[in-house]
Structures are given as structure tokens and as C-alpha cells.
Amino acid sequence: MHLARFPRVRLAHLPTPLEPLPRLSEALGVEIWIKRDDCTGLAGGGNKTRKLEFLLGDAMEQGADTLVTQGAVQSNHVRQTAAAAAAHGFACEVILEERTGSKAIDYTHNGNVLMDRLFGAGIRTVAGGSDMPAELEKTAAEVRARGGKPYIIPGGGSNPVGALGYVDCAREIVVQADELDMQVDRIITATGSAGTHAGLVAGLAVMGADIPVLGIGVRAPKAKQEENVLKLARETAALLGRPEAVTAAMVVADCDYVGAGYGLVDAAVIEALKLAARTDAIVLDPVYTGKAMKGLIALAKAGRFENETVVFLHTGGAQGLFGYQGEIEGAL
């Protein structure tokens, strides 16, 4: 895949650990390992750091001076983008979408939002359901009007350039598994803006690794999520020179664990947070990894992963827990 062909800024602590979860495995009757992309380092870590390595490389090559991006109010992507901008001398303008409708003070001012401000990002808030690509263009136009050179990063850093970060992660998982003489039967990840899921699928396909990826959806219905992931995985494979490598059969999303909607917490998510924390001391987040673990737990109990070795990709986001204190604390 020779990723050195693409401009890149090193931001992450790589390789991230690939570790067993012995107590969770015992509790669920499945051999579970965890890929610790919560340990990428930047601003507390998370999956967006891998994407931002390639996105910042591209921004620098284009001569940009301002990163422009968007996300939900408690966006992990926005936090990491603001941090990457601060670390490399970019200005940063972000648009936060009130996607959940929450007006709780911990949600609107704590967690990731507090860190966005700490890193010096300019923040504009818009109503849930806003046309976010149009909002990005509006902010970019404002940057140009004052003489700046904006670089637009889509939500989640999820375009073919950003997805290269998870092409690299796919390679990393295969190398680590080979070093451990471990056969990986399945990778499980939260799937939302699609870049992480698509990058893994494209990377594994181009390598010919033949490891299925199961995305546990956090927002869109199954058909729409799979459509989004497939499109981006094919675009990413094309960027690598192998447009034919990704097939529709490689893209699988299970969107039965979204609950009431994006960013909305239910009892099963809280139970998943507690189980991960109280078995192997793994801290998940309520929006992405908590729902992915909710799905893993339910599917494991239903016998879906019998005799498999499963790798759970931890995409980070624990900083967002502090935005949900009022909803979680009473259930602990």
C-alpha cells in the first residue's frame, strides 16, 4: 500500500497496543482482544488522530492556515482537530451541531466542549438537522474573506484522505496479530461517519487479509450506513490504486443498537460501560464505543461469535463521559 506516497504529519503514538481482555472474555464466553486506539495520544487520544495525520499533511501541502470542521456538540473529532491545529500552528474554526437536543450544562460546556475551548478553537453552534456541508462552506468563506486559507475537514475526518489512517491501522492489526501468532476472526468497531469502518475494509481488502469487519451503527439505518461505508471504502481503495479490491459483501453494519438516536444513552449502554470498566478497567464512551460494546455483548450472548477471536477497536471518546454525567451517574 506504500502510504509514504501520501503527505502525513505524525500525531499519534503508534502502534497502539493490541491486548487481551481476559475477564470480559470470560464473562461473555468469547475470546476478545482490544485495539487501543484510545491511546493515540493527541488530546487524550481517539481514532480521529490517525485520520488527522493524513488530513493535516494534505492541508500543509495545500498551503492552508485554518482548519474548518464540524461535529455534534460533544464531538471527539472536533476535540482532536482543535488539538492538532494548536500543535501545528493552524487556526481552527468549528461548527457544533445540537444533534441530541440536550441543553444540560455538562453536555453543552463540559467534556469535549471544554477542551475545544482550551485548544483555542473558534466555535459556532447550529441547530440539529442543519445542512452541515453548507455550514462548513459558510465558515470557509468567512475565513477567506479575512485573508485566511481554509482547509475543510468533513465530520469525523471521513473522506478518502482521512480513511488512509485506518488503512494503516488495518496493516498494524495484521502485523501485531502475526507477531502474536494469533488468527483474528473478526474486527468490531463503532460505525458512524464511516471513515474508520471504510478505512479498515479498504486496507484489509487491498492487503488480501480476509478478516471481516462488523460495524455497530451509532446513527443511520443499516442500508444507509452500509451504502456510506461502501462508497467511501471504494473511494479509499481507488486512492490506493486498487478500486476493484472492495466488494459489497465486505461491508456489514448492524444498526440494531442505536437506541433512541445518535448520542442518546439508554440502560444497555450504561451496562456496557460498567461491564467493560469492572472487568478489564476499560473506559468507553456513551456515544460510540459504548454502543459498539452494547452490540458486542448482545451478539456474544446470542452465540454470534462462537469459537472466534474478536478484536474490538476502541476508538476513544472517554472525554465525552463528562458531558453525560447527569445521565450516567445515577445508574452507577
Q: Which residues are designated catalytic?
A: 75
107, three cell numbers: 453536555
Q: Which long-range contacts (CB under 8 A, 24 or more apart) does 23-30 make?
A: 23/279, 23/280, 24/275, 24/276, 24/279, 24/280, 24/282, 26/279, 27/275, 27/279, 28/296, 28/297, 28/300, 28/301, 29/300, 30/300, 30/305, 30/306, 30/308, 30/310
Name the packing angle between helices 48-61 and 160-179 (round to 10°).
130
Q: Which residue has the cell 478478516?
A: 211
198, three cell numbers: 471504510
> Strand, coil or helix: what is 131?
coil
